[in-house]
Structure 1
Amino acid sequence: MSDRNTTSQTKPPTAGALEDADTAPSASASSVIPPSGAMTAPVLVIDDSELAREEVSRILRDAGWQVVALPSPIGATQAIVRHQARVVIVDVFMPTLRGDWLLTLFRKNPRLGHLSVILMSGHSEQELERLQMEAQADAVISKRNLHRLPVIVRRLAQR
């Protein structure tokens, strides 16, 4: 699960750009029915890598979470509002929009003030910690340590 994707954007888009993107149909969103006794707060996973998206979703479902997964940030706001997600896990390096830039847009949107956002990448923990400070993420996780994800999600969902 490598995060060697690059983006052609040189600066973060405006909040209006995210809203425009969110008017697109979100047919790519897939809701997964949680097992009985599952946590009630849905978790949104955004990752352009199908393999990574499926692995993160599986780990969270196995831990009892309802999961909504998107292959890109397009439609993210719509999915958050529709599914009332409280925790979002977003890959940092995606071709359409970097995850840290998406987080910046979330923070600027008053409808999304309740979100806890986890930035995820295959990069080093040091790089992720630096990015966490810059982007004001609630948490970060390396794709090498996905086994830690349920504990992080539980902590953030209880806030």
Structure 2
Amino acid sequence: MNRTRVLVIDDSHLARALVVRALTQAGFEVLEAADGVEGAVAAFRTLPHVVLTDLEMPTMDGNQLLRLLKSDPATASIPVIILTSHGEAPSRFWGLATGADAYITKDA
């Protein structure tokens, strides 16, 4: 049985753990990464069915990661969902304009 593979990328260990736990309990196969660079490597190696990423991360932020994934034919069709605490309209606009498939605001 092939489960949907989800890559969760967030530099906050707690936020990442909560999302990983919820998705695992829902039956998804979950991979995780602590920053954009680690997430990009994981995405290219595993070709997940969907990527959930935070925006603000060290080394490579979520928008840089999004542009990288959407610019490569191997990963361009993978849906990318931004999961962030930044709910302001400009952040949402730029995330979606950059190619995100959805933008979800984390509850504070």
Place the TM-score, normalised by the shorter chain, in its bin: 0.7 to 0.9
The alpha-carbon deviation at position 128 of structure 1 amounts to 4.3
C-alpha separation in 1, matches of 2:30 and 2:90: 27
Larger of the two Rg values belongs to structure: 1
C-alpha separation in 2, matches of 1:77 and 1:95: 13
In the alignment, structure 1 residue 67 sits paired with structure 2 residue 30: yes
Give the 5 Å matches for 1:1-159.
40-124=3-87, 126-144=89-107
Normalized against structure 1, the TM-score is what?
Answer: 0.60
Identity %: 35
**Number of residue pairs the alignment of both structures matches:** 108
Offset from partner CA, 1:14-59 (integer Å, 9 cap, x none):
xxxxxxxxxxxxxxxxxxxxxxx7x612100010000010011111
Cα gap change, 1:47 to 1:67, in 2 (>3 Å): same
C-alpha separation in 2, matches of 1:130 and 1:47: 20
5+ residue gaps, structure 1, are 1-36, 146-159
RMSD, aligned CA: 2.1
